[in-house]
Amino acid sequence: MSKTDNLIRATDFAIFLKGARGEWIPYPESGKIYSTVTQDFVQTADTNGYQTIAFTLTHGGRCYRSRVSLHRALWVLCRGIPLSLKAEVDHIDGNRANNVIGNLRLISNAENVPHKLTFEAAEEIRRRHAEGESQTGLAKEFGVSRSSVRKVLRRETFRSPPEKMPVWRSSNAVQRRNLAGDSRLLSRAA
């Protein structure tokens, strides 16, 4: 069990409260949320290609303001709160504007991140940034956030090609085959 299992995001709880209080009503087949407070569908803004909602929650006499993606809000209202901080709501077809509940799935951060960029794309980002292109422009072109581009440039992600990345193997036969070149390691693995 991970340290982040059974923990929830504060914004997810706020969305849940808005739904439980009847302030937000999800329309899963259209990918929209209706507000009973404004008597209209919630307004969205574009943030890195995702539709986001700015909202205020009053609880215990205090007023909290936050912003959340529309697709995550729809997931919480229709399917419940994900029980891990690493859980992400993914668009199955890759279209960030398609927030229909049937196009959404819950996956881990590790599953979500790799398909957005490849090692080759990361190398292209580094090359083009060195030639003077902006992080913002590269982020828009490659369909990722500016922070993702910054992590690529700092080599926090995509440090080496995939074939050089370490892989955990559970099979003893595979371990013996990989360690066959070093008899000291082979005797320890037995």
Cα angle, residue 145 at apex, residues 140 and 149 outer, rounded to 5°: 90
pLDDT higher at 47 or 5: 47
> Is 168 domain-assigned?
no
**87 and 140, same domain (yes or no):** no
- Within this chain, do residues 16 and 86 fall inside the same structural domain, yes or no? yes
66 & 124 share domain: no
Q: 25 and 55 share a domain?
A: yes
CA distance 120 to 115: 12
* Total number of domains constituting the chain: 2
Residue 147 lies in a domain: yes
Instruction: Give the Cα separation of 11 and 17 in Å (integer).
Output: 10
Specify the CATH number for the domain of residue 83: 3.90.75.20
Determine the Cα–Cα distance for residues 66 and 11; give it in Å rounded to an integer: 7
Is the residue at 103 inside a domain?
yes
Tell me if 92 is assigned to some domain.
yes
* 84 and 125 inside one domain: no
Averaged pLDDT for residues 66-74: 95
Whether residues 21 and 97 share a domain: the answer is yes
57: in domain: yes
Beta strands in the chain (DSSP E): 24-27, 32-35, 40-41, 45-47, 50-59, 62-69, 87-91, 104-108
Among 70, 89, 108, where does a domain finish? 108
In a domain, 144, yes or no: yes
Same domain, 101 and 21: yes
- Per-residue pLDDT tens for 83-135? 888 788 999 998 999 999 999 998 877 677 666 788 889 999 999 999 999 99
Query: Does residue 170 lie within any of the structural domains?
Result: no
Q: Which amino acid appears at position 150 of this protein?
A: R
71 and 135 housed in the same domain: no
The pLDDT of 20-48, averaged and rounded, is: 94
Q: Give yes or no: residues 63 and 139 share one domain.
A: no
Domain range for 22 is 10-108
Instruction: Please indicate, yes or no, whether residues 126 and 96 belong to a single structural domain of this protein.
Output: no
Residue 130 lies in a domain: yes
Whole-structure pTM value: 0.62
Mean pLDDT of the chain: 81
Higher pLDDT, 114 or 153: 153
3-state class (DSSP) for residue 167: coil
Q: Are residues 150 and 104 in the same domain?
A: no
> Is 91 in the same domain as 154?
no
Q: Which of 108, 139, 171 is the last residue of a domain?
A: 108
